Chain A
């Protein structure tokens, strides 16, 4: 077992982890935060997406021991107390989910995506300047599968938030 200490949603937490434990299982099993979901455990669905030091990753593909000292944001940490983040609100009002299982990952992905755009990070569909548009969103959200097929509403929710002053 190996000690790790990390910041999760603004709180410092410490745990002893098995070297084989993924960041996802650290969150779900050891830290009692099952909000992040496991859809495949193989980096193929995005349900486990969390934000680590400002960048989204598939937490199932990353070993917990490699995150000592990191700052992690999960779906449980997106709201400000009782008040939902603009993206969370937009997901509800645009019906950007049905079963909701992919939603924690979609939300973390979308939250990080907005920062990627601000930082000017290009994607494969970027043509010149990086701007937020439907095609960029579809491309950048394609690592987050949604079997219920909420894709169009997810795109609309993200667009609606991007239109708001940050």
Chain B
């Protein structure tokens, strides 16, 4: 690499700067934090009913147990703002009060919190708490209570819950070819490897919290609003987070319990949710029923598209997922309709999980598209290309970029797609029925307001400080690359400090907006420093006036432009000051309102289905993606792979099963909630198109963290159809769903032999 190229850091596949800390066990996650005085350990006692009232709660045995310091219940819990109050702060910033009263909101909700000297003592004593309930009938299942369904006030990821463009019914009526189907997607838990954990300590009325959280500024509001203190009296520290996937966007029960108990005991309290706790005391993606109707004319041009979804909403916690949102942006049609209905239910918090909306939306919508293509007698890729829109169908807005066709074409070439109408059961490899499937991936691109602070010291070391988080997304590394490129310096001279509410507020990590938003803020702060250096240098030496700031480089403690060179210290001495400092604040540009902005991909899967047992094995998975400019090819590649593996889970493995009699999730551990393991995953092929979306942000980047999951599940489902003739109507696809189709095929083969 020559000298000039080495300044072009953005995009380089640099190793993660936090890599060495992570491979030596030195990265401190929330539960690893050890303060000056030893923390007491908390353990949650969960409600054993789904809805009802606590008649009595006996904590005497627990209180008398070895090492126990405190047992909190609704009877002695300190006052908090009512759950849900301060709703103007958003669902993460609102009050998250716990142990409010004798009413049980959902199965597994905390009814007591035991704090002891050690985990063993707290866990034991938790089992000694005895609770009597008056159980009442609850609402747990949307379909069984569809009569109570309402339109949600707001939808996460779409501006309207219901929308119709054109006139759906007549367009559907006159369609020559139709698909009308009902699908079910399951409840899922994000299941980050790090369980939610919090260490809370108080000093002089101020609260310091070490916790696992994606958006620090919202968490701060959440604590302040719950505990009735000022946000300025809350400090959140979260330097390393063991995965989020949406589950750590906000704060959860263990966090408030720790803060309450720490204040009562005047001692730090640490609590890590158990894996079992997480299935009720963390958030989940809820099950949806989707009704899809698609119609095309005889030539395969889409006429009518509709997607109606039904799901529960956790009572008092406003979140509904835009399952049908992508009907607005995927394919051109004369009429498009979507509707979302929710039933308020006595279930744990329903919230975002990786790619809310699209992850489940593409699963069913791209399956239905495949089915319609087949009925039209058209190759599934051709069908999609035929229906490529000129402008966003749901809004009429121009696309900032629309590279979906390119993703599909390049993917088909790389995968070796055999075009033609899907004809199930035609490919065989020994005992395996082979199937190929394709699906499109689409995910909205967002930018959120974010700030950054940069400080360049006289020795040429740059420090960035912002309350952004790195949840495995490579943020530490990427922000350093952006800063170093902007200031023409070495990445080794940049220190990135994240995960602390003492730093400038950002958007945090979520919705794939983190890198683009905070990266732009960092670029702007560094750009201000660059301008500042030149202005001050020009005051010392007029030869520096009018030079192009883009040509500035910093080497060690010297700044140069062309053959001009000055020591940073000399500039500072001449004008005063210890460092060059700049703060920035960015907002989404108008193009986020006026244009339709998405990241895109095309996914290709090959499955083998055992001809006797119907066991489904994924043999190949390939994705071609466009997420604008790639900020670090190594970490981006990893994120896309991680998303695709999430998609394997959505297609084949993951479901949280609720016992609808009690509103209790049943498979509350990692032996029964199946995420893909190493051997479930074939060698994945990830291809990134070199794009640059000038409308997204000045870096040209778009969101990438959620893109891989969109499209993977339906590509697998479509491959299963190609292999067996089984059209998935519910996810994940089970062996027993596929068996009848496999049996029909093999019987057919036997007869024709």
A residues sitting closer than 8 Å to B (CB atoms) are: 18, 20-21, 25, 28-29, 32-42, 44-45, 47, 74-76, 78-79, 84, 88, 91-93, 95, 97-104, 107, 134, 137-139, 141-155
> Among the listed A98, A134, A155, which residue makes an inter-chain contact with B243, where contact means beta carbons less than 8 Å apart?
A98
Residues of B within 8 A of A145 (CB): 193, 670, 675, 677
A88 to B594, CA, bound (A): 47
Apart from the given pairs A20-B124, A92-B20, A138-B681, 10 other A-B contacts in the complex at a CB distance below 8 Å: A34-B34, A44-B671, A95-B638, A98-B243, A98-B474, A100-B472, A102-B242, A138-B678, A145-B670, A149-B641
Known: A142-B677, A152-B681. A38 touches B195 (CB 8 A): yes
Q: Mark B191-217, 1 if CB is under 8 A from A, else 0.
A: 111110000000000000000000000
Contact present for B191 and A147 (CB under 8 Å): yes
Known: A92-B15, A98-B243. A44 touches B669 (CB 8 A): yes
Contact present for A76 and B193 (CB under 8 Å): no
Contact present for B638 and A35 (CB under 8 Å): no
A44 to B119, CA, bound (A): 20
Residues of A within 8 A of B303 (CB): none
> Among the listed B195, B241, B645, B679, which residue makes an inter-chain contact with A39, where contact means beta carbons less than 8 Å apart?
B195
Residues of A within 8 A of B471 (CB): 99
How many chain B residues touch A (Cβ–Cβ < 8 Å)? 63
Residues of A within 8 A of B472 (CB): 97-100, 148
18 contacts between A and B (CB under 8 A): A18-B118, A25-B120, A38-B272, A42-B671, A75-B24, A76-B25, A78-B23, A92-B23, A95-B15, A98-B639, A101-B193, A138-B681, A142-B679, A147-B190, A148-B243, A149-B676, A152-B641, A152-B681
> Among the listed B194, B643, B645, B678, which residue makes an inter-chain contact with A99, where contact means beta carbons less than 8 Å apart?
B194
Q: Does chain A have a CB within 8 A of B637? A: yes
Contact present for B678 and A95 (CB under 8 Å): no
**Most B-side CB within 10 Å, residue of A88, A149, A155:** A149
Known: A40-B275, A151-B678, A151-B681. A34 touches B31 (CB 8 A): yes
**Most B-side CB within 10 Å, residue of A20, A34, A93:** A34
Contact present for B275 and A41 (CB under 8 Å): yes
Q: Does chain A have a CB within 8 A of B22? A: yes
Known: A34-B34, A92-B20. A99 touches B193 (CB 8 A): yes
Residues of A within 8 A of B634 (CB): 95
Contact present for B670 and A25 (CB under 8 Å): no
Label chain A's interface by main secondary structure: loop
Residues of A within 8 A of B194 (CB): 37, 39, 99, 101
Residue in B closest to A30 when the chains form the complex, CB atoms: B118
**Most B-side CB within 10 Å, residue of A74, A98, A147:** A147
Known: A32-B34, A44-B275. A99 touches B192 (CB 8 A): yes
Contact present for B678 and A142 (CB under 8 Å): yes
Residues of B within 8 A of A95 (CB): 15-16, 634-635, 637-638
Q: Does chain A have a CB within 8 A of B18? A: yes
Q: Mark B632-652, 1 if CB is under 8 A from A, else 0.
A: 001101110111111000000
Residues of B within 8 A of A18 (CB): 118, 120-121
The 10 closest A-B pairs by CB, nearest first: A35-B25, A101-B242, A99-B472, A98-B472, A149-B645, A100-B22, A149-B642, A34-B32, A92-B19, A75-B25
Residues of B within 8 A of A38 (CB): 31, 195, 272
How many Å from the CB of A160 to the closest CB on chain B? 14
How many Å from the CB of A146 to the closest CB on chain B? 7
Residue in B closest to A21 when the chains form the complex, CB atoms: B120
Q: Does chain A have a CB within 8 A of B27? A: yes
Q: Does chain A have a CB within 8 A of B106? A: no
Q: Mark B8-36, 1 if CB is under 8 A from A, else 0.
A: 00000001101111111111110110100
> Among the listed A25, A100, A134, A148, which residue makes an inter-chain contact with B642, where contact means beta carbons less than 8 Å apart?
A148
Residues of B within 8 A of A103 (CB): 22-23
A150 to B684, CA, bound (A): 11
Q: Does chain A have a CB within 8 A of B168? A: no
Contact present for B274 and A152 (CB under 8 Å): no
Q: Does chain A have a CB within 8 A of B245? A: yes
Q: Does chain A have a CB within 8 A of B240? A: yes
> Among the listed B23, B192, B681, which residue makes an inter-chain contact with A101, where contact means beta carbons less than 8 Å apart?
B192
Known: A95-B16, A150-B638. A39 touches B678 (CB 8 A): no
How many Å from the CB of A106 to the closest CB on chain B? 9
Q: Does chain A have a CB within 8 A of B753? A: no
How many Å from the CB of A149 to the closest CB on chain B? 3
Contact present for B639 and A84 (CB under 8 Å): no
Residue in B closest to A19 when the chains form the complex, CB atoms: B120
A23 to B644, CA, bound (A): 35
Residues of B within 8 A of A41 (CB): 274-275
Q: Does chain A have a CB within 8 A of B253? A: no
Q: Does chain A have a CB within 8 A of B683? A: yes
Q: Does chain A have a CB within 8 A of B696? A: no
Residues of A within 8 A of B642 (CB): 98, 148-150
Residues of B within 8 A of A144 (CB): 678
Residue in A closest to B354 when the chains form the complex, CB atoms: A147
> Among the listed B28, B274, B670, which residue makes an inter-chain contact with A34, where contact means beta carbons less than 8 Å apart?
B28
List residues 657-691 of chain B with CB under 8 A from any CB of chain A: 669-671, 675-681, 683-684
Contact present for B23 and A88 (CB under 8 Å): yes
**Most A-side CB within 10 Å, residue of B21, B23, B644, B671:** B23
Q: Mark B726-745, 1 if CB is under 8 A from A, else 0.
A: 00000000000000000000
How many Å from the CB of A154 to the closest CB on chain B? 7
Contact present for B678 and A29 (CB under 8 Å): no
